[in-house]
Amino acid sequence: MLKAAGFAVLAVVVAAVAGIEAQTESSVAVEPVRPTVVMPKPVVKKPTSSSRIDLSLEGLAAASKLYAAGKVPAVRCVLPGRPPQTKGELLAYARVMVGCMDRAWAPVVGRADATLFPVKTVQAYDLKKPAASPECDKPLRNMDAFYNSGTICFEWPEFSNPDEPVWNLVDFQQLIAHEYGHHVQQSAGILTTYDAGWSKQPKATQLENERRLELQASCLGAAFLGANRSGFRLAGERLRMWKYIVRHVGDENNTLKIRDHGSYKNHAYWTTRAFASTSPATCNTFKATPQRVS
């Protein structure tokens, strides 16, 4: 996710298949260095000769069974009692949250005929001390977090402002839910399908598909948060904060002017709908018009 004015935006580094590398994010950011990651190849059913299956990369991502897998359930989630501030507290919070998302998403991904891979690790890094977090190699300066092949990394100082503990927490919840959205995409085969064709498309198509991927990650994250709004205390003032944040995540924050995450307006559209529906059914960004993923 990318950095935003006054608050954080997400970013995600993605995966690579067949030697092709790609990077993903959530709402803002630019990725100069693409790490090399070998991802499992997606399983694609062979179409019958008479079928009219769209075998383009976007078509395969649009046809995922994830969209018909039903709602994300509410799960029991014992989160730390007070807003996290220190690196250790933020890490502990993120890891508990990831455990909750594992339990919530596993049955949904299972109904999509896929298996939710375990998240390898959740790590916190500080851009001033990169050597302290070798698992989060080469973080980008205009992102607050990224996902790379099963690893979730976040820039913890961005969420440690003691003057805004509740705001930081809501922003952090949105960020971690977005990064986990990429993990769902990877487990469901959407990320690998997408990455497989990364370098074969014209630049404009690459960017549009990157926006589809990023907006979908936020959408999936919002579906989880909507289903678990009670456990995450997303009501009243906190919900107002969340709605403000999702209306201000997007390429408008990208200092390098790269259009790879989508606009504020479209980010708000996908996240707000999914928070209400609590279902990936409302997250098929690969079937949306170009205007909805601009």
How many other CB atoms are there within 10 angstroms of residue 131's CB atom?
8
Residue 69 and residue 67: Cα distance in Å, rounded? 6
Residues 132-161 that bind Zn ion (CB under 5 A): none
Write the CB contacts of 137 (distance below 8 Å, at least 6 apart in sequence): 35, 130
For residue 238, what are the CA distances in angstroms to 111, 233, 289?
32, 7, 32
- Closest CB 1 distance from Zn ion, rounded Å: 6
Minimal distance in Å, beta carbon 257 to Zn ion? Answer: 18
In this complex, which beta carbon is closest to Zn ion, that of residue 83 or of residue 249? Answer: 249
CB of 28 to Zn ion, least distance (A): 9
Beta strands in the chain (DSSP E): 16-17, 20-21, 121-125, 145-148, 151-155
Q: Sheet containing 145-148: which strands, arranged edge to edge?
A: 121-125, 151-155, 145-148
Interface residues for Zn ion in 12-71 (CB under 5 A)?
A: 12, 25-26
Could you give the string, one character per residue 197-236, with x where binding to Zn ion holds by CB under 5 A and - elsewhere?
A: -----------------x--x-------------------
- Using CB under 5 A as the binding criterion, the count of chain residues that bind Zn ion stands at 6
Among the residue ranges 3-11, 63-71, 113-121, 161-169, the one whose residues contact Zn ion (CB under 5 A): 3-11
Whole-number Å distance between alpha carbons of 106 and 66: 11
Query: Nearest distance from residue 50's CB to Zn ion, in Å?
Result: 38
**Interface residues with Zn ion (CB under 5 A)?**
10, 12, 25-26, 214, 217
